[in-house]
Every structure is written in C-alpha cells, then in structure tokens.
Amino acid sequence: MPFTRVHHVGLAAPDLEQGKHVFVDGFGLAIDEHRTPWPGGLKNAQEGVAQIQIPIGELYYEVSAPLNDDSIAAKFLEANGGRPGMWYISIASTDIRKDVEGLVSRGARIRGNWNGQGPVFLDTASTLGLLLQIVPEEHYYVHPMYRGNGVVQGMAHIGIAAKKAELTRHLWGDIFGLIEDKGAERGLEPPPPGERTGAAQDPVHLVEFPLGGVVIETSIPTTTDSGTAKLVESRATMGGTFHHTCPWAYDVHRFLDQVKEAGIQQIGSVPGPEVSRRVTGWLHPRSCLGMLVEVWNRLPGPGHYEVQKHPM
C-alpha cells in the first residue's frame, strides 16, 4: 500500500499559546521540543508560520501561527473570521513521486508548482474541498520525553463529514486506493425521531477507511436537521469538510477530568466511572482551536487487522 499513515493534522491559530494550552494543559500531551523548540516554536520562513508539533500516537497535531499576512495560515484565519480551526491533514508516502503521479492519474490535481520530491498539497477542487497534503514518509519516532503524561495513548480516527457516501468512497477508495472497512459501516437508516437519544441525536451513515493505525471516518447525514447536516450544508460546498479528531484514551473519565480542569468545555455527559469500556465524550470546538473533539476507548474494528492491498 503506497500511503502508510496519517502524518499529521494541521491546525491554524492566531498564536501558539492556544495550542499549548489545549494539547498540553488539557490533553496531557507534550510539545516535541526536539523538532519545534518552545517557547516560540519553529520558525518556518518558507511558509511564513511559527509551528509546534504535539505527538499523539504515530502522528502529531501541528499548530501553525502566521508570521505575516501573506502566509496560507493567515489567509485561512482571515477566511475563518480570525478563529482557529482544523486546516488540513497530511498523509505519508513511501514513494512520493510515484504516488502523487498515481493520484493525478486517478483524478486528483496538484495545488501550485511542485518539485517532484517534497511535500505537496492537492487541489481542494479535486478532493471534495478537503485540503490534503502528501509528504515523504520519514518514519517518525517520538522520544519518550515527548509522549506526555500517558492519559492519551493515540489517535483513534479523523472525522470528515460528506454529502454522499459515493463521494467519500471515490476519494479514499478510487483515488487514494484505501480499503474500506465494510464491517464498520453503520447508520444507513436514521432512528425514528422519538428514539434519537445520545449519539442518535445526530444520525449519520458512517463509512471508514483504515490508514496505518488510524481510521478516516466519514459521516454522511441521514436527516436534514442534525448538527452534522447543518455543517455539511454550510461548509461541504464541494462535497466534504473536516468534522473532528478522536484521541484514544484508555481512561476517558480521567481525560475529561483533566481537560475540564484546564477550562475546556465538554459537550453532553458520559456514564459514571462504574462504566469503564466503550465510553465516548465530546469537547466543544470553541475550547479546542475550533476543532470538534471526540474521545473514546473503543476497540479497533476488524479492518485494522486485514492486510491492505489494492491494485494500483
């Protein structure tokens, strides 16, 4: 399989202190100061940003703060009303020239000029409006110094919302060559209005594509009045939009206690500590750099154990 994993999740924020507060003070993660020194972060003059990287399992959150008004991050923030937000996701490739050529042959387009070797963004018009970056695989290894306090063990999935299942299957299956975990598909039919409690208050059809140790989870609204339906209506103008990220924490209750101590807002409630398995919590985007956050401790689906093969 040419694409090995999600390399990182990119977020833009007016300043790096916001990212440190959410991910270090709240989530209990740590800045990789070997790669992005603190304070101040790494100054990336080419992109016009200062950055910090916060490892989470096999990938990392990367928070970028603009150093000038001409950077892509600055333009993202301007378009987003000055608010921070989830900006793009980056995917690692073991043979970037061959793999990008393959993407282009199957319908993706490159954004701007590319030297054929380094990182490259894909044109959002060919990726459902999602900003996706392809980078060379660097076999990222996090030193134990930068793994945080251990409350979060990794990333379970990255959530995307889309208008139709056919669109997401075309992008991740036909263009990227990922194999859908058919055993994880659920929510094809919405529950009756009177039975919409808990997660069913936002009925969605879920389609999943494992990529390395993380899942690309797509939510397709099955009603017109849910939160996801309203998000898709307003932001998925090209077919898709970023929805959330989902850290994996063995003790979800401890995670929620920790983030609330840091002033991060929880959405809804979770069962009491007597329930230790299959616990799911949510955090409000306004408290998490504009990114909706789900946290859970569910076991991975069967697609994680299958050999991923695709004729390319």
pLDDT digits (tens, 9 = 90+) for 156-184: 999 999 999 999 999 999 999 999 999 89
The two counts, helices (H) then strands (E), for the chain are 6, 14
pLDDT digit string, tens, across residues 45-100? 999 999 999 999 999 999 999 999 999 999 999 999 999 999 999 999 999 999 99
The pLDDT of residue 150 is above 90 = yes
The answer to whether the pTM exceeds 0.85 is yes
Instruction: Give the list of residues 6+ apart from residue 257 with CB closer than 8 angstroms, or none.
Output: none
| Residue 311: burial class (beta carbons within 10 Å; 0-12, 13-18, 19+) | exposed
In the predicted model, what is the mean pLDDT of the chain?
Answer: 92
pLDDT classification of 283: cutoffs 50, 70, 90: very high
Q: What is the pLDDT of residue 147?
A: 95
Query: What is the dihedral sign for C-alpha 286, 214, 10, 8?
Result: positive
Q: What is the pLDDT of residue 302?
A: 65
Instruction: Give the list of residues 6+ apart from residue 79 with CB closer than 8 angstroms, or none.
Output: none
- Cα separation of the two ends of the chain: 9
The pLDDT of residue 275 is above 50 = yes
**Structure-token pair, residue 276:** 């230790």
**Structure-token pair, residue 285:** 């985007």
Instruction: Of 228, 130, 117, 222, give the one whose Cα is nearest residue 176.
Output: 130
Q: What is the pLDDT of residue 310?
A: 43
Taking the C-alpha atoms of residue 235 and residue 230, their distance in angstroms, rounded to an integer, is 8
Q: What is the pLDDT of residue 2?
A: 81
pLDDT digit string, tens, across residues 89-142? 999 999 999 999 999 999 999 999 999 999 999 999 999 999 999 999 999 889
Contact at 8 Å (CB) between 179 and 146? Answer: no
pLDDT digit string, tens, across residues 84-97? 999 999 999 999 99
The pLDDT of residue 305 is above 60 = no
The pLDDT of residue 201 is above 80 = no
DSSP string, 132-194: EEEEE-------GGGSTTSS--EEEEEEEEES-HHHHIIIIIIIT-PPP-GGG-B-SSPPPGG
The amino acid present at 284, given as its one-letter code, is H
Reported residue count of the chain is: 312
Contact at 8 Å (CB) between 158 and 210? Answer: no
Asked, as a colleague might, if the bond just before 302 is cis with ω within 30 of 0, I would say no
Contact at 8 Å (CB) between 124 and 130? Answer: yes
Q: What is the pLDDT of residue 199?
A: 46
Q: What is the pLDDT of residue 177?
A: 96
**DSSP secondary structure letter of residue 195:** G
**Structure-token pair, residue 7:** 């390399």
Domains present along the chain, CATH in parentheses: 3-145 (3.10.180.10), 150-305 (3.10.180.10)
Taking residues 216-221, report their average pLDDT.
97
Q: Say which range, 6-15, 136-145, 195-204, 247-256, has the weakest mean pLDDT.
A: 195-204
